[in-house]
Amino acid sequence: MLFGALCYKPHFGLLVPVALAAGGRWKCFAAAAMTAAALIGVSVLTFGLGTWRAFFAAAAGAHRIYETSISHAGMASPFGVVLLLGGSPALACELQAIAALAMISAVGLVWRRGQSLPIRAAVLAAATPIALPVVLFYDLMLSGIALAWLVRWGQQHGFPAWSRTMIATLYGATLLSGNFDPHSHMMITPLIAAGTVVLALLAAAAEVRQQRINSPSVPISGRFAPVLRRVLDAHLRHARGEREDSPPAVVLDQLGSAQP
C-alpha cells in the first residue's frame, strides 16, 4: 500500500514495479496498484477530472521548462549533468535512457536474487534518482534512505572503515546540497546520487561473495571430509577477521596425516 501511495509523485515509483516483479512479490504488486487506483479515484471524486486534464497538459510541456528555465546544477540525474556541461537536450535524453536501463537492470538483478532486505531497499532507493530525468537536490531524500539501509546492513555484516566515512559524508551532503550556489557548475548533487548507487552496488556484490563463501558449491564427502570442512571453516573465519585456532595452512598440513 505504501508503494501505491507514491502516486502522489509518480516518477518516484518508476523502479518499484521492476523490483516487485523481479522478486516475485505479486501480492505486493497488486496491493500497490489497487492503492494507486483508489487514490486516483478519490481525487477524481473530490476535485473532478479537471485537475487531471490540467496535470497532463502541464506534463506535456514540462520538458521545455526543465531543458531551459531552471538551474541544471541542482539536478541529480545524468540528464541534468549533460545540460549543465553544455550538451544538447537530445544527447541528454540519450544518456539518461542508458542510465535508466542500467538502473533497471541493477534493481531487477538484486531483487531477483532475493538478497537481504537492506540491500534490496538500498539499491532500489539509490537507483531511483539516477533512473529519473528530473530529480532536484531536495529529492535526494531517496539517497538518504538508501544510506540508512546501508548502515543497517553494515551493522549486521560489517563494512570497511572507508565505507563508513563515505556513508557519513554522503548523508551529510544530502542535507546540505540545497545550500550550494545554484548558479555554479559544481556537480555536487549528481555526485551524491552516483556515490550512493556505487556504495549500494558494492554492498550487494559483497553480500553475494559472502553467500558463496558460506555455501560452497562443491559437495564435501569421503574420508577427507572432516579435514576439508576444517579448511573451509578456517578460511571463512579468516575472511571475517576472526581469530583462528588453526590457520588454513596448518589445517592443510593435517591432510597428509589423515591418510592411513
Helix H, strand E, coil C: the string for 70-103 is CCHHHECCHHHHHHHCCCCHHHHHHHHHHHHHHH
179: buried, middle or exposed (CB in 10 Å: 19+, 13-18, 0-12)? exposed
Query: What sign has the CA pseudo-torsion 80, 82, 85, 86?
Result: negative
pLDDT for residue 58: 75
What are the Cα distances from residue 242, in Å, to 66, 209, 237, 239?
53, 17, 5, 8
**How far apart, in whole angstroms, are the C-alpha atoms of residue 129 and residue 134?**
8
pLDDT for residue 238: 62
pLDDT for residue 251: 44
In whole angstroms, what separates CA 63 from the centre of its chain? 26
pLDDT for residue 57: 81
Tell me which amino acid residue 170 is. Answer: L
**How far apart, in whole angstroms, are the C-alpha atoms of residue 34 and residue 57?**
25
Q: What's the helix, strand, coil split of the chain in %, to 5? A: 75, 0, 25
Using DSSP, state whether 136 is helix, strand or coil: strand
> Per residue of the chain (260 residues), what is the pLDDT tens digit?
777 777 777 778 889 999 999 999 888 888 888 988 898 888 889 888 888 888 888 777 666 766 666 667 778 889 888 888 888 888 989 999 999 999 999 999 999 998 999 999 999 999 999 999 888 888 888 899 999 999 999 888 877 767 888 888 888 888 876 666 656 556 788 889 999 999 999 999 988 888 887 765 545 455 555 666 666 666 666 655 655 454 555 544 554 554 44
**How far apart, in whole angstroms, are the C-alpha atoms of residue 3 and residue 124?**
12
The number of residues making up the chain comes to 260
**Residue 93, C-beta contacts closer than 8 angstroms, at least 6 positions apart:** 79, 133
User: Is the pTM higher than 0.85?
Assistant: no
Task: Give me 208's grid cell.
Answer: 553475494
pLDDT for residue 227: 60
**Residue 99, C-beta contacts closer than 8 angstroms, at least 6 positions apart:** 77, 78, 130, 131
Task: Give me 228's grid cell.
Answer: 576439508
Q: Which residue has the cell 486516483?
A: 40
**How far apart, in whole angstroms, are the C-alpha atoms of residue 210 and residue 212?**
5
Residue ranges covered by each domain of the chain: 1-60, 70-213, 220-257
Q: Which residue has the cell 559483497?
A: 206
pLDDT for residue 240: 59
